[in-house]
Amino acid sequence: MDYRSQAELWLKHATDDPEITQQLNSIINDENELKECFYQDLKFGTGGLRGIIYAGTNRMNIYTVRKATQGLANYINRRYTGGSVAIAYDSRIKSQLFSREAARVLAANNIKVYITKELEPTPVLSYLVRNLKCSAGIMITASHNPSKYNGYKAYGSDGCQMTDKSAGEVYNEIIKLDVFNDVKLCDYEEAKKQGMINIVENSVYESYVQNVLSRQVRPGICASSDLKVVYTPLNGAGNKLVRRVLDTIGVKNVSVVKEQENPDGTFPTCSYPNPEFKQALQLGLEQLEREKADLLLATDPDSDRLGVAVRCDNSYRILTGNELGVMLLDYILKGKKENGTLPKDPIAVKTIVSTPLTQKIADEYGCELIDVLTGFKYIGEQIKLLEEKGEENRFVFGFEESYGFLSGTYVRDKDAVVASMLVCELAAYYKNMNKTLSEAIDGIYSKYGYCINNTINFEFDGVSGLKTMQRLMDDLRHNTPKTISGYEVIGVSDYLLSEKTDIISGEKKKINLPQSNVLAFELEKENKVIVRPSGTEPKIKFYMTVTAKSHAEAKEMLNAMAAAIRHDIIKKYAQ
Catalytic choice (91, 135, 143, 485): 143
Task: Tell me the β-bridge partners of 89.
Answer: 140
Q: Please confirm, yes or no, whether 516 is among the known catalytic residues.
A: no
What is the rounded CA–CA span in Å between residue 356 and residue 401? 11
What is the rounded CA–CA span in Å between residue 189 and residue 185? 12
Alpha-carbon distance values, 390 to 77, 256, 385, 387 (Å)? 29, 41, 9, 5
Q: For 189-302, list the strands marked E by DSSP.
A: 197-199, 228-232, 253-256, 295-299
> Is 336 in contact with 342 (CB distance < 8 Å)?
yes
What is residue 346's DSSP assignment? -
Residue at 555: amino acid letter: K
With residue 242 as reference, give the H or E element that holds it: helix 239-248
- In the sheet that 368-372 helps form, which strands lie side by side, from edge to edge? 368-372, 347-351, 395-400, 404-406
Residue at 199: amino acid letter: I
What is the rounded CA–CA span in Å between residue 316 and residue 513? 39
Nearest to 400 by CA among 466, 328, 325, 485: 325
Alpha-carbon distance values, 99 to 87, 190, 328 (Å)? 7, 16, 34
Instruction: Tell me the pairing of strands 519-523 and 487-494.
Output: antiparallel
Q: Would you say how long the chain is, in residues? A: 575
Burial class (CB in 10 A: 0-12, 13-18, 19+), 551: middle
Q: For 440-510, list the strands marked E by DSSP.
A: 450-459, 483-484, 487-494, 499-502, 508-510
Nearest to 116 by CA among 89, 134, 94: 89
Alpha-carbon distance values, 462 to 28, 94, 259, 325 (Å)? 18, 23, 33, 34
412-450 in b/e burial notation, b at 16+ Cβ within 10 A? bbbbbbbbbbbbbbbbbbbbeeeebbbebbbebbeebeb
What is the rounded CA–CA span in Å between residue 161 and residue 545? 28
> Is 149 in contact with 231 (CB distance < 8 Å)?
no
> Is 267 in contact with 148 (CB distance < 8 Å)?
no
Q: For 264-361, list the strands marked E by DSSP.
A: 295-299, 306-312, 315-319, 347-351
What is residue 550's DSSP assignment? S
Please give the positions annotated as active site: 143
